[in-house]
């Protein structure tokens, strides 16, 4: 009779823990809203074959163990009735989509969500099929790219990528870092051999509303990251239901900076996918096979990360110090005390913002006076370049390329703030549920530096904390045998540095980043 139900009752990953064991799982992950059963009974339309009922897939059955066992009583019958009803027919093949106009897809489980999608030709890479479109959720319209794998699209994993900012378009990740092509100059896209779609299907999503080509009617917007997470989880479900060749494939959520900064996007999105899976299983649908999250140069715990910025400036953490150690000794206690009082011990948006502002004036101002690139401290960057192109002139070429009318027509582009809080608990919750987590960081990044990321991962409260923290950092090497950085891994959590890389690891070290990705997707140790 309740509107909520426990999502993780009987989770085998929690067995053997004492009643006093503290496991920081976020509030929204504990209580899961049930979809209206009446609406599902009368409106649900699913495919006419039962081949993809969740208990028929060995791979998904294994995932069920992490969700607390087999489908709930009655879900087998609901799935059989729904699949046999023939009221919903999946679109079937991506290749059948039109290049001239959008095809609109929907699913009755989420009646307010639809997906407009079209073929987008070879605007980026002629060797693979590419698609673009919008996730339409009432008055919100979220733009996305989808590229099939260069290897085996029907069998390879699926990766979801989002950039950070907040407010940074994922087109930067696509055209500057890890996409099938790069726009490095005024001549337009060039083939990128180290693209992450070498062995995986690849999503790039412009979110939240107002980022890149995403927009809203009547000024509507997403208020919090948690609201945006629901949009993303529903989109992936609808997409997989219509293009069933991707159902059950390992699904990895990844991003960088505010894509994971303060842990907001990727950990929160992944937690929502996991919670949505519980509801889908209960009603007989195939869950999304959430396999791992990858966090690149993020600030998942801002309290730790803020003070570690002093380490990057005043100690030889990566390069020779920019400021004297006496500056650090003076400022760190003052900064940490304010952050702890207003952002950690108790959270108040205004007080926390003031504490951040206080710390920033003693961190950012001295750093910027040194005219260094905050995303790669091995390089110089003055105030003019920071304001115009984020210290990377090629961003202007990307912006100009995407502003061309012919490119916008090919993509089908329409004519037409969340607070900073630590989300380490979301990462802990995912680990407790059996989802692997990779934290990778370029050692030359100052804005989201490796020192702070190493500290918060080592201090993360979860059942594997002692096993993880007990492992020493050790070198890891690329496929060619060259030292690539340091790594610590245990119980599904991996922290990894990429030496010589800045904030955008795939841009600075494309070969090493692709090698990292392929080993991670294959489940290999570093």
Based on C-alpha coordinates, what's the Rg of the chain?
Answer: 23
User: CA-CA distances (angstroms) from residue 17 to 21, 29, 137, 429, 462?
Assistant: 6, 19, 41, 15, 11
Go through 331-349 and write b for each residue having 16 or more CB atoms within 10 A of its CB, e for each that does not: bbeebbebbeebbbeeeee
Q: Provide the terminal-to-terminal Cα distance of the chain, rounded to the nearest Å.
A: 48
Q: Report whether the peptide linkage leading into residue 208 is cis, meaning its omega lies within 30 degrees of zero.
A: yes
If DSSP states are collapsed to H, E and C, what string results for 30-48? HEEECCCHHHHHHHCCCCC
Cα dihedral across residues 211, 217, 222, 227: positive or negative: negative
d(CA 184, CA 393): 9
229: left (phi over 0), alpha (psi -120 to 50) or beta: alpha
Residue carrying structure tokens 């009646």: 111
Tell me the three state secondary structure of residue 269.
helix
Query: Element (H or E) spanning 118, and its range?
Result: strand 113-119
Residue by residue, DSSP assigns 63-96 as: HHHHTTSSPPTTHHHHHHHHHHH--------GGG
Q: Report whether the peptide linkage leading into residue 147 is cis, meaning its omega lies within 30 degrees of zero.
A: no
Is the distance from CB of 269 to CB of 413 less than 8 angstroms? no
Tell me the three state secondary structure of residue 462.
coil
Catalytic residues: 257, 445, 503
Beta strand 113-119 with 103-106 is antiparallel
Query: Element (H or E) spanning 373, and its range?
Result: strand 372-373
- Residue 147 pairs with which residues in a beta bridge? 130, 202
């Amino acid at each position: 009779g309740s509107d909520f139900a426990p999502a993780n009752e009987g989770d085998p990953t929690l067995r053997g823990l004492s009643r006093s064991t503290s496991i920081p799982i976020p509030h929204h992950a504990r209580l899961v809203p049930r979809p209206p059963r009446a609406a599902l009974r009368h409106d649900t339309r699913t495919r006419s074959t039962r081949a993809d009922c969740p208990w028929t897939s060995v791979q998904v059955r294994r995932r069920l163990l992490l969700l607390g066992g087999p489908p709930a009583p009655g879900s087998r019958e609901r799935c059989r009735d729904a699949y046999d009803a023939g009221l919903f027919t999946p679109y079937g093949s991506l290749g059948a989509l039109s290049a001239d106009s959008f095809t609109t897809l929907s699913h009755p489980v989420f009646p307010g969500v639809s997906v407009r999608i079209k073929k987008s030709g070879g605007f980026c890479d002629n060797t693979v099929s590419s698609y673009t479109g919008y996730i339409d959720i009432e008055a919100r319209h979220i733009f996305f790219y989808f590229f099939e794998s260069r290897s085996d699209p029907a069998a390879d994993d699926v990766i979801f990528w989002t950039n950070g900012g907040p407010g940074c378009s994922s087109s930067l990740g696509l055209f500057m870092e890890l996409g099938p092509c790069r726009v490095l100059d005024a001549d337009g896209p060039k083939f990128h051999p180290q693209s992450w779609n070498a062995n995986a299907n690849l999503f790039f999503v412009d979110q939240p509303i107002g980022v890149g080509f995403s927009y809203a009617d009547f000024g509507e917007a997403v208020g919090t990251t948690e609201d945006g997470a629901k949009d993303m989880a529903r989109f992936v479900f609808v997409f997989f239901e219509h293009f069933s060749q991707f159902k059950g494939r390992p699904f990895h959520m990844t991003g960088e900076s505010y894509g994971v900064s303060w842990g907001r996007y990727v950990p929160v999105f992944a937690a929502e996918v996991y919670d949505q899976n519980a509801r889908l299983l209960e009603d007989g649908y195939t869950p999304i096979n959430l396999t791992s999250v990858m966090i690149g140069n993020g600030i998942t715990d801002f309290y730790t990360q803020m003070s570690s910025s002093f380490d990057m400036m005043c100690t030889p953490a990566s390069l020779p110090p920019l400021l004297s150690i006496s500056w650090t000794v003076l400022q760190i206690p003052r900064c940490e005390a304010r952050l702890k009082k207003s952002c950690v011990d108790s959270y108040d948006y205004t007080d926390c913002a003031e504490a951040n502002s206080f710390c920033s004036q003693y961190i950012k101002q001295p750093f910027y006076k040194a005219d260094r690139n905050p995303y790669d401290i091995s390089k110089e960057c003055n105030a003019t370049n920071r304001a115009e192109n984020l210290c990377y002139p090629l961003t202007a070429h990307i912006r100009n390329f995407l502003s061309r009318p012919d490119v916008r027509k090919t993509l089908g582009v329409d004519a037409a703030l969340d607070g900073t809080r630590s989300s380490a608990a979301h990462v802990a919750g995912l680990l407790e549920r059996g989802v692997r987590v990779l934290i990778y960081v370029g050692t030359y990044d100052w804005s989201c530096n490796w020192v702070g990321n190493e500290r918060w991962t080592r201090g993360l409260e979860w059942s594997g904390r002692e096993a993880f923290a007990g492992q020493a950092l050790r070198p890891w090497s690329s496929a060619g045998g060259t030292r690539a950085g340091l790594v610590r891994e245990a119980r599904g959590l991996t922290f990894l540095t990429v030496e010589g890389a800045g904030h955008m690891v795939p841009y600075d070290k494309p070969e090493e980043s692709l090698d990292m990705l392929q080993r991670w997707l294959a489940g290999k140790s570093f």
